[in-house]
């Protein structure tokens, strides 16, 4: 970077810091509680969901062409972006076609799932979204258009309206907007309709009463308020009343046909039941039973798309309440879309978009390297993981953090892993998460130290750990710790009675570039064994150590080797934690933290002491294959597993099952993947991700999917 570029960057950082810290300016991130709603809080954008968006739009467009209603079940864990996907897709569709969108939050009250309640919701949402005005204008335009094709009707219209007026009503929507406020115009229009009711009933594809009540409710006339209340289903006017579910069902049929007619059959009606998990209430049996009955009734309607959106738990609860034949009815009718968790790169893109929208208000644009200011790319990835890959929680945290900065009048630039660890970590334990594991592994392999310097520093830091323990009463059996640039030795008291001791030597060979034991590592091993008389040896290495080298001295020719296999990625991360602990935590480790980290490296002093009492064969008798360290098999914490590992396991599982099984189910699949990943069976953290990934990856190889099953 040139001196001029450095100056420009400093100037920009100073300027944007003052803007971000100004409480008068809006927060770049959504205000909590952040919940997408089609009417009150529509999404500004939808990134990383293009595949699902196309799938959803394809299913909706299908219902424009076919009278058979579509049922789409969208599933995914909370905060994954289901509502954003639905509302954004609906918004895009409404820009292409005149589509009534009935967006509803799932109710926990069973009485809300009947036809009468649905009818009222439909009318209310049409009014709220402005679709009613579109429908009014188009229906008047359509009426005058078809009237020109009927001589009897057109003759009566000509008597009431001039030919010029009729042409404008057919061609000019703005002209209609003005006319509906003229009581005389509306009176003449309704007079023509009432006078030709019998004839209109014969060629209109819907109940004429829906057109009359709708017009009377939305044009200037003395009875508009009464008509509107009746149309909303809360009153009786001119025989139009919605008192029973049968009334509501009849008028919903008429309304759907009326909408199709008004827009030349280029539309469909979308009904959305979002947040299905709200139905998991004390009254869940009644709620989901009534919802099922409502869905069956809607299946008899025409040109309709129903979208159910909820978590895996919601669908499982729904299925458990239904009878087998009821589940089959829904399974055979529906399309299922399972949302995978957003990739960290996609979350970065979303956060970057929020920030860009923010800076646009100030006619400013950050340098590319500072587009996420005051955060770094890896910091955002880390923050996202620490909020269980929940986008909503991540955005909420960022909003709160900006507010905290403003309150304290100080902004922290979180641009590296060390700062992110301190600022974003939600836990106090030292159990490494997936991204922490990756970051720490990268740190130790790509550290600024030369390999020789790095290996020596690891030994020194490891020696400090053992020295701290040796000063504690519980570890009085650690008698001496010696560290040199070549290796480290720890002397253990084996028997209090006899005073017998054993020495364990530690050798390191950590390299990002070499795939075999380096010459320097071998030379260090020779030098260490010449100067340290040890009984046992263990390697901390990234490659398979060479045990068949001649260590040279007779006194060390029978050294027992505890470990020669390479460190796993997780062990390498914990070794890195030893190296960088004070940089990350800004303090020295305590006894409990040292115990935890050493145990993760299988270097627990208590366990080592036990191993040193075992009788091992001499090196000459060793079988190299048998000497591979048998790692203790135990469930891995879910924190240490990431999406990539789950995808790999699922892909392999699907390839096996797709050719030999006709069907796989969620519970068995989740259990099998957990076993393959050595995860705790009882830890449910990844359950929903495992099944959603399975659903997504199996789309091209299966015949049918349901929320709980995949058929091959």
Per-residue three-class SS string for 193-225: HHHCHHHHHHHCCCCHHHHHHHHHHHCCCCCHH
Residues 6+ apart with CB under 8 A from 293: 113, 114
Which residue, among 633, 629, 495, has the nearest Cα to 563 in the 3D structure? 629
Which two structure tokens, joined as six digits, stand for 579? 């190296």
Residue 709 pairs in a beta bridge with: 665
DSSP classification of residue 700: T
Q: How many CA atoms are closer than 13 Å to the CA of 370, on its beta-carbon side?
A: 20
- Rounded Cα distance between 494 and 615, Å, is 13
Residue 280 pairs in a beta bridge with: none
- Give every residue of the chain whose pLDDT is below 70, as ranges: 1, 5, 545-558, 614-635
Which two structure tokens, joined as six digits, stand for 679? 């995860």
Q: Where are the alpha helices (DSSP H) in 370-518?
A: 377-386, 391-408, 417-424, 434-445, 451-470
Confirm if 518 and 450 have CB atoms less than 8 A apart.
no
Burial classification of residue 345, based on how many CB atoms lie within 10 Å of its CB (0-12 exposed, 13-18 middle, 19 or more buried): exposed
Residue 541 pairs in a beta bridge with: 509
* Residue 132: per-residue pLDDT: 96
Residues 6+ apart with CB under 8 A from 307: 56, 72, 74, 86, 270, 271, 272, 273, 274
Burial classification of residue 21, based on how many CB atoms lie within 10 Å of its CB (0-12 exposed, 13-18 middle, 19 or more buried): middle
DSSP classification of residue 368: G
Tokens 């299905």 appear where?
Answer: 276
Secondary structure element (H or E) that encloses residue 582, with its range:
helix 569-585
For the chain, first and last CA: distance in Å?
Answer: 56
224 C-beta neighbours (distance < 10 Å), count:
16
* Residue 533: per-residue pLDDT: 86
- Rounded Cα distance between 197 and 247, Å, is 21
Distance of CA 128 to the CA centre of its chain: 30
- Rounded Cα distance between 287 and 292, Å, is 9
Per-residue buried b or exposed e for 34-68, using 16+ beta carbons within 10 Å of the residue's own CB: eebebeeeebeebbbbeebbebbeebbeebbeeee
Residues 6+ apart with CB under 8 A from 71: 295, 299, 306, 308, 330, 333, 334, 335
Distance of CA 99 to the CA centre of its chain: 28
Confirm if 517 and 546 have CB atoms less than 8 A apart.
yes
Residues 6+ apart with CB under 8 A from 194: 212
- Rounded Cα distance between 516 and 546, Å, is 9
Distance of CA 318 to the CA centre of its chain: 22
Q: Dihedral of the CA atoms 221, 222, 228, 233 (nearest 10)?
A: -140
- Rounded Cα distance between 77 and 87, Å, is 17
Which residue, among 707, 693, 695, has the nearest Cα to 342 in the 3D structure? 693
**Per-residue pLDDT reduced to its tens digit, 208-219:** 999 999 999 999
Output the CA–CA distances (angstroms, integers) from residue 43 to 36, 47, 75, 86, 145, in the order listed.
6, 11, 19, 10, 37
Q: What does 289-328 look like in DSSP terms, one character per residue?
A: HHHHHHHHHHTTSSSEEEEEEE-HHHHHHHHHHS-HHHHH
Length of the chain: 712
Which residue, among 573, 585, 598, 611, has the nearest Cα to 465 in the 3D structure? 598
* pTM of the entire predicted model: 0.82
* Residue 629: per-residue pLDDT: 36
Q: Where are the alpha helices (DSSP H) in 612-686?
A: 643-660, 666-676
* Residue 640: per-residue pLDDT: 80
Q: CA 615, 617, 620: angle at the middle one, nearest 5?
A: 155
Tokens 């939305």 appear where?
Answer: 218
**Per-residue pLDDT reduced to its tens digit, 257-305:** 999 999 999 999 999 999 999 999 999 999 999 999 999 999 999 999 9
Rg (the chain; Cα; Å):
35
Confirm if 268 and 303 have CB atoms less than 8 A apart.
yes
Confirm if 504 and 612 have CB atoms less than 8 A apart.
yes
Distance of CA 588 to the CA centre of its chain: 36
Distance of CA 122 to the CA centre of its chain: 30
DSSP classification of residue 41: B
């Amino acid at each position: 970077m040139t001196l001029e570029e450095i100056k420009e960057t400093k100037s920009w950082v100073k300027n944007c810091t003052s803007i971000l810290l100004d409480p008068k300016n809006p927060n770049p991130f959504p205000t909590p509680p952040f919940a997408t709603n089609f009417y009150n809080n529509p999404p500004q954008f939808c990134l990383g969901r293009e595949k699902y968006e196309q799938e959803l739009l394809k299913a909706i467009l299908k219902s424009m062409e076919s009278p058979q209603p579509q049922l789409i079940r969208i599933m995914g864990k909370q905060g994954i972006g289901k509502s954003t996907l639905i509302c954004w897709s609906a918004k895009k569709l409404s820009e292409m076609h005149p589509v009534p969108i009935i967006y509803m939050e799932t109710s926990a009250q069973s009485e809300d799932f009947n036809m009468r309640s649905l009818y009222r919701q439909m009318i209310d949402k049409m009014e709220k979204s402005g679709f009613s005005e579109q429908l009014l204008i188009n229906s008047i335009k359509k009426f005058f258009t078809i009237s020109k094709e009927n001589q009897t009707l057109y003759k009566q219209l000509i008597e009431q309206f001039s030919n010029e007026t009729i042409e404008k009503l057919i061609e000019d929507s703005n002209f209609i907007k003005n006319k509906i406020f003229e009581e005389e115009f509306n009176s003449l229009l309704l007079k023509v309709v009432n006078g030709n009711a019998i004839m209109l009933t014969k060629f209109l594809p819907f109940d004429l009463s829906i057109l009359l009540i709708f017009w009377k409710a939305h044009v200037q006339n003395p009875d508009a308020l009464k008509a509107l209340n009746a149309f909303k289903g809360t009153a009786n006017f001119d025989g139009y009343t919605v008192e029973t579910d049968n009334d509501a069902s009849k008028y919903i049929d008429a309304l759907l046909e009326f909408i199709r007619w008004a827009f030349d059959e280029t539309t469909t009606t979308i009904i959305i039941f979002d947040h299905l998990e709200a139905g998991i209430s004390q009254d869940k049996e009644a709620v989901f039973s009534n919802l099922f009955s409502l869905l069956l009734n809607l299946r008899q309607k025409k040109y309709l798309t129903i979208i159910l959106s909820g978590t895996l738990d919601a669908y499982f609860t729904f299925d458990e309440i239904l009878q087998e034949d009821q589940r089959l009815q829904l399974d055979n009718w529906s399309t299922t879309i399972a949302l995978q968790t957003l990739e960290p790169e996609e979350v970065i893109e979303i956060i970057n978009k929020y920030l860009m929208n923010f800076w646009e208000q100030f006619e400013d644009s950050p340098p590319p390297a500072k587009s996420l200011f005051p955060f770094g790319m890896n910091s955002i990835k880390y923050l996202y993981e620490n909020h269980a890959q929940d986008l909503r929680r991540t955005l909420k945290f960022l909003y709160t953090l900006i507010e905290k900065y403003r309150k304290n009048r100080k902004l922290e630039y979180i641009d590296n892993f060390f700062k992110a660890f301190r600022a974003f970590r939600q836990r106090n334990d030292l159990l490494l998460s997936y991204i922490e594991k990756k970051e720490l592994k990268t740190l130790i392999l790509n550290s600024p130290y030369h390999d020789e310097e790095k290996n020596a520093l690891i030994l020194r830091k490891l020696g400090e750990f053992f020295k701290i323990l040796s000063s504690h009463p519980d570890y009085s059996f650690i008698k001496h710790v010696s560290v040199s640039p070549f290796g480290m030795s720890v002397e253990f008291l084996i028997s209090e009675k006899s005073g017998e001791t054993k020495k364990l030597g530690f050798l390191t060979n950590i390299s990002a570039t070499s795939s075999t034991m380096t010459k320097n590592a071998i030379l260090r091993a020779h030098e260490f064994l010449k100067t340290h008389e040890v009984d046992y040896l263990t390697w901390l290495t990234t490659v398979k150590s060479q045990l068949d080298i001649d260590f040279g001295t007779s006194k060390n020719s029978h050294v027992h080797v505890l470990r020669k296999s390479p460190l796993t990625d997780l062990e390498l991360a914990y070794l890195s934690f030893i190296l960088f602990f004070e940089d990350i935590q800004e303090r020295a480790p305590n006894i409990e933290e040292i115990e935890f980290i050493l145990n993760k490296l299988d270097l627990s002093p208590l366990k080592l002491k036990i191993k040193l009492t075992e009788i091992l064969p001499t090196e000459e008798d060793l079988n190299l294959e048998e000497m591979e360290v048998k790692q203790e098999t135990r469930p891995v914490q879910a924190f240490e597993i990431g999406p990539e590992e789950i995808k790999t396991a699922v892909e392999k599982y699907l390839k096996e099952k797709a050719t030999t099984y006709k069907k796989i189910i969620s519970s068995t699949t989740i259990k099998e993947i957990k076993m393959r990943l050595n995860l705790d069976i009882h830890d449910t953290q990844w359950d929903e991700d495992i099944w959603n990934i399975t659903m997504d990856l199996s789309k091209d190889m299966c015949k049918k999917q349901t929320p709980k099953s995949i058929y091959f």
